[in-house]
Chain A
Amino acid sequence: MANNVFNVQVFFVVFRESLEAVIVVSVLLAFLKQGLGGSADDPVIYKKLVKQVWWGACLGVLICLIIGGAFIGAFYGLGKDIWGKSEDLWEGIFCIIAAVLISVMGIPMLRINKMKEKWRVKLAQALVKKPSNRKDRFKVGYISKRYALFILPFITCLREGLEAVVFVGGVGLSQPATSFPLPVVCGLIAGIIVGVLLYFFGSSLSLQIFLIISTCILYLISAGLFSRGVWFFENYKYGKQTGGDASEGGSGPGTYDISKSVWHVNCCNPEIDHGWDVFNALFGWQNSATYGSVISYNIYWIVIILILVLMWYEEKTGHLPLTKNLTLRSLNPMYHIKGKKKLELTPEEKQRLFEEVKNQKRTSGTYEEVSSDDKQITDEAKKTSI
Chain B
Amino acid sequence: MLVLHSFWWLLCALTVAAKTHTFYFNATYVNASPDGTIERRMVGINNKWPIPTIRVKKNDRVKIHFTNLLNENSSLHFHGLFQEGTNAMDGPDMVTQCPVAPGTTFLFDFEVKDQAGTYWYHSHSGAQYSDGLRGLFIVEDDVPLAVDYDEEVTLTVSDFYHDVSGVLVKNFMSRYNPTGAEPIPQNALFNETRNASWVVEPNKTYLLRIANMGIFTSQYLFIENHNFTIIEADGVYVEPREVDSLYLASAQRYSVLVHTKDTVDKNFRFVNILDQDMLDFLPEDLEVISTNWMVYNKKNPLPKPLKNDNIGTTFQDLLKRLNPVDDFYLVPLSKEKLLPDADVVINLDFTMEPLGDGVTYAAFNGISYVPPKVPTLMSVFSSGKYADNSQIYGSNTNSFVIQPNEVVDIVLNNMDPGKHPFHLHGHTFQIISRSPEGQDEENPIKFDPSNSNHTDYPEYPMIRDTVQVHPNGFFVIRFKANNPGVWFFHCHVDWHLEQGLAITLIESPFEIQKQEIIQNHYDSCNRTNIPSYGNAAANYGETKEAWLNLEGENLQVAPLPEGFTQKGYIALVLCTIIAIYGIFSIYKYGMEDVTSEDTEAMIAKLYDILRKNGDTVGNEYHDEAEEPLT
A residues contacting B by CB (< 8 A) are: 107, 110-114, 117, 202-205, 208, 211-212, 215-216, 219-220, 223, 238, 241-242, 245-246, 249, 253-255, 257-259, 262-266, 283, 289, 294, 297-298, 301-302, 304-305, 308-309, 311-312, 315, 347, 350-351
Contact = CB atoms under 8 A, between A and B. Distances in A.
B582 A254 contact: no
B178 A242 contact: yes
Contacts of A301: 578-579, 581-582
Given A253-B560, A305-B585, A263 B571 contact: yes
A294 B575 contact: yes
9 contacts: A107-B589, A249-B179, A258-B357, A266-B562, A301-B582, A305-B581, A305-B585, A308-B586, A309-B585
Nearest to A354: B628
Interface stretch (B2-10, B331-339, B495-503, B592-600): B592-600
Nearest to A315: B592
Contacts of A112: 593
Interface in B596-614: 597-598, 601
B357 A211 contact: no
A148 B327 CA distance: 96
B144 interface: no
Interface of B: 175-179, 181, 353-354, 356-358, 360, 560-565, 567-569, 571-572, 574-575, 578-579, 581-583, 585-594, 597-598, 601, 627-628, 630
A211 B579 CA distance: 18
B590 A312 contact: no
B433 to A, nearest CB: 33
A212 B591 contact: yes
Nearest to A111: B593
Given A223-B582, A263-B572, A302-B578, 7 more contacts: A110-B586, A110-B593, A114-B593, A205-B598, A216-B583, A253-B353, A258-B175
A215 to B, nearest CB: 6
A305 B591 contact: no
> Which of A202, A204, A308, A315 lies at the interface centre, i.e. has the most chain B CB atoms within 10 A of its CB?
A308
Contact of B586 (A216, A249, A253, A294): A216
A205 B598 CA distance: 8
Contacts of B564: 263, 265
Contacts of A311: 589
B628 A351 contact: yes
Helix, strand, loop or mixed for chain A's interface? Answer: helix
A305 B353 CA distance: 45
A101 to B, nearest CB: 17
A154 to B, nearest CB: 29
A26 B598 CA distance: 19
Nearest to B582: A301
B358 A212 contact: no
Nearest to A241: B176
A216 B587 contact: yes
Contacts of A265: 563-564
Contacts of A266: 562-563
B628 A249 contact: no
B548 to A, nearest CB: 33
Contact of B583 (A110, A219, A351): A219
A215 B358 contact: no
A298 B574 contact: yes
Contacts of A203: 593-594, 597-598
Contacts of B598: 203-205
A258 B585 CA distance: 35
A204 B602 CA distance: 11
Contacts of B572: 263
A114 B630 CA distance: 10
Contacts of A246: 178
B358 A257 contact: yes
A254 to B, nearest CB: 3
B178 A254 contact: yes
Contacts of A111: 593
Contact of B590 (A212, A262, A297): A212
A95 to B, nearest CB: 17
Contacts of B353: 253
Contacts of B583: 216, 219-220
Nearest to B357: A258
Contacts of A258: 175, 356-358, 560
Given A255-B178, A351-B627, A208 B594 contact: yes
A245 to B, nearest CB: 6
- Nearest first, the 8 A-B pairs at minimum CB distance are A263-B568, A254-B178, A258-B358, A212-B590, A301-B582, A110-B590, A253-B354, A208-B594
A212 B589 CA distance: 9
B579 A220 contact: yes
Contacts of B578: 297-298, 301-302
Nearest to B354: A253
A265 B581 CA distance: 27
Nearest to A294: B571
Contacts of A113: 593, 597
A299 to B, nearest CB: 9
B138 to A, nearest CB: 42
Contact of A249 (B178, B563, B581, B594): B178
A134 B621 CA distance: 46
Contacts of A202: 597, 601
Contacts of B587: 212, 216
Nearest to B564: A263
A219 B594 contact: no
A305 B178 contact: no
A236 to B, nearest CB: 14
A351 B562 CA distance: 67
A111 B630 CA distance: 13
B354 A254 contact: yes
Point out which of B178, B181, B357, B560 has the most chain A C-beta atoms below 10 A from its C-beta: B178
Nearest to A208: B594
A266 to B, nearest CB: 8
Contact of B360 (A110, A254, A309): A254
A312 B581 contact: no
A202 to B, nearest CB: 8
B582 A305 contact: yes
A304 B592 contact: no
A49 B585 CA distance: 42
Nearest to A283: B579
B176 A215 contact: no
A156 B566 CA distance: 54
A259 B561 CA distance: 12
A121 B312 CA distance: 74
Contacts of B592: 312, 315
